[in-house]
Amino acid sequence: MRNLNAKKLDKKIKIIEDYNSSAKIYDNRYKIIQNYKFKLIIESLVFKSGIYLDAGSGTNLFLDYLNKERIKRNIRLIGLDISFNMLKIAKEKQKNSYLILGDIENLPFKSNLFAGFISITSFQNLPDIRKGIEEVNRVFKRSGLLAITILKKSFNLNEIKKLFQPHFQDLNYIYDNKCEDWIIFKNIKDD
């Protein structure tokens, strides 16, 4: 057990170091790829007003995209990331953004807080993805919007369904051959 926990911690530290050292070049290398995922998400989801969490928000590319496309609709987006350097770049670009240094596996929020939970290309980094899914389940409102993308090279679709479906009802998937991620989503339910 102790060995397993030590391995998970090692993986997390390695992830933090990797993103801290690649933060400066991240946008140049990944902006176009990530924008394609954002476009697919925006086309499939209905964004209503409320507080949304962007978990693993990196350099704020998703917020950049929302601003560029003028998709505001009274969404207050809070970014959370485990890499300080990624957040630093995000803050330099968007001085007014709400950013938190934190861990998806231990979210520093009370339950049922968020109207929307977004996480793009971050969950495959988690040493314990089940813990991350439990945290999503805890912090986001039952009737809320969910959009999580995960690298296809890390999990196959059956594995994704087995992980997520026991926790969430009404899940949908975007099937797009050009996208390197699986996209799992759930639209807001009208009360």
Ligand X SMILES: C[S@@+](CC[C@H](N)C(=O)[O-])C[C@H]1O[C@@H](n2cnc3c(N)ncnc32)[C@H](O)[C@@H]1O
- Nearest CB to ligand X, comparing residues 41 and 189: 41
> Is residue 79 near ligand X by the rule CB under 6 A?
no
> Is residue 144 near ligand X by the rule CB under 6 A?
no
The bridge status of strand 140-151 relative to strand 98-101 is: unpaired
Cα–Cα distance measured from residue 189 to residue 191, given in angstroms and rounded to the nearest whole number: 6
> Is residue 56 near ligand X by the rule CB under 6 A?
yes
Per-residue three-class SS string for 90-132: HHHHCCCCEEEECECCECCCCCCCEEEEEEECCHHHCCCHHHH
Rg over alpha carbons for the chain, rounded to the nearest Å, is 16
Question: Which of helix, strand or coil describes residue 76?
Answer: strand
Among 40, 45, 99, 105, binds ligand X (CB under 6 A): 105
Question: Which of helix, strand or coil describes residue 79?
Answer: strand
- Nearest CB to ligand X, comparing residues 138 and 189: 138
> Is residue 99 near ligand X by the rule CB under 6 A?
no
CB of 29 to ligand X, least distance (A): 10
Among 57, 75, 141, 150, binds ligand X (CB under 6 A): 57
CB of 190 to ligand X, least distance (A): 28
CB of 107 to ligand X, least distance (A): 9
Q: Are 146 and 136 in contact (CB under 8 A)?
A: yes
- Contact residues toward ligand X (CB under 6 A) are 15, 19, 30, 34, 56-58, 61-62, 80-83, 86, 103-105, 120-122, 125-126
